[in-house]
Amino acid sequence: MISSDIQQLLDWAVAEAGVPGIVAEVRDDGETWFGAAGVADIETGARRQPGEYIHAGSSGKAFTAATMLRLEAEGRLSLEDTVEKWLPGVMNVNGYDGDKVTIRHLLGNTAGLFSTGLAPETTNNYATRANLERHRFDVWTTSDLLKLGLSQPPIGEPGDRFKYANGGYYLAGAIIEKVTGNSYADAVERLVIRPLGLNHTYVRPAKDHGYPDPHPQAYSSMFLKDGSDPASLTPENWVELMEDPATPPLNVTQFNTSLFWSAGNVVSTTGDLIRFIDAMATGSLFPQAQHRAMWTTVSTEGSGWIPHTHYGLGVFELDKAVTGGRTLRGMAGAFWGTATMAVSTPSGDRAVVVHTNTDWRDFDLAFKIVGAVFDISIVA
């Protein structure tokens, strides 16, 4: 167990990188190590601790993909089914064609949908501190999300290239509800959470905006600089337009996250997330065909997403050029006040989950810790 190196990085993250609090949980050949640095609450000075409930962000996409794959294994649907088959007419707007977009496209972010996070409906509501304060308790319905995800024309043909888009996962969530006749949350609970024994994991209800105890406070500095135009945001320039990292953070713990729904609205713990990424990496939850489908990947190069990755279905593999030829599988998520990354070997013998109670502007910090765990060097 390389705990001393990891602890030094956690301490560095707080002392030098400006992170309020950070934790890492590592499983190595059956042994578990938990490390923490910094605080869960800036005002009280309470420390980070094991077992905290945290928002997994877009790591929740892997839960959606896993649910779909379980439904395929049950014979309820096929990854090659079109959106039109399950949601007739829903994609008949702005130049989309539901007869051409498959479930596989949705889960792999290759459906040709635009980057939903840059839609005016979201940037105008949440891109500045003042607007987030006004909209932090807004509730997004499934109808709202489907409309949002298709509100701008496609950026390409289905299957052409990777483009990270929450809209594809909104459609996937709606298909899950259509196929099962139950809510998305109930389907994830039955098909993924209960079978894996994730006793501290749940899909956050649409009207919920808090966390069970214990939990860290969530702090965000991910806002546009004064005078910036939200309409000018692109996947390539958003970092340059954001406030300086030294700007005092805003406490966003009380925040309705229904905007993310099936694209990433799972609350969990580092321990549960290690169990989950182990199941995804090793394939213990699926028959071989579904496991192979999850890890059939496409390059994300040039997309503005996490560097050095190839995307599968809700998950990624790190480029072997930075892993020394080894296969390392993971998932990640970040938005206001929370950021996670989980990485595992395909055998599950070693895995790590990292969480900060603030937002990442890049993935350099997570890569440093992942690198220490797996004895590799990754530059974001």
Mean pLDDT for the stretch of residues 80-93: 98
Nearest-angstrom CA–CA distance, 151 and 148: 5
Q: What is the pLDDT of residue 2?
A: 66
Q: pLDDT tens across 107-136, in order?
A: 999 999 999 887 888 888 888 888 899 999
Mean residue pLDDT of the chain comes to 94
Q: In what order do the strands lie in the sheet with 21-28?
A: 31-38, 21-28, 350-356, 338-344, 329-335, 316-318, 309-311, 298-299
Q: Where are the domains of the chain?
A: 3-374
Mean pLDDT for the stretch of residues 273-284: 98
Q: Which of these, 214, 223, 266, lies nearest to 242 by C-alpha position?
A: 223
Residue appearing with tokens 């992942």: 370
Given a cut of 80, is residue 72 above it in pLDDT? Answer: yes
Q: Which CATH superfamily is domain 3-374 in?
A: DD-peptidase/beta-lactamase superfamily (3.40.710.10)
Q: What is the pLDDT of residue 260?
A: 96
Mean pLDDT for the stretch of residues 324-347: 96
Q: pLDDT tens across 5-57, in order?
A: 999 999 999 999 889 999 999 999 989 999 999 999 999 999 999 999 999 99
Please give the model's pTM, rounded to 2 decimal places. 0.95
Q: What is the pLDDT of residue 175?
A: 98
Q: What is the pLDDT of residue 235?
A: 66
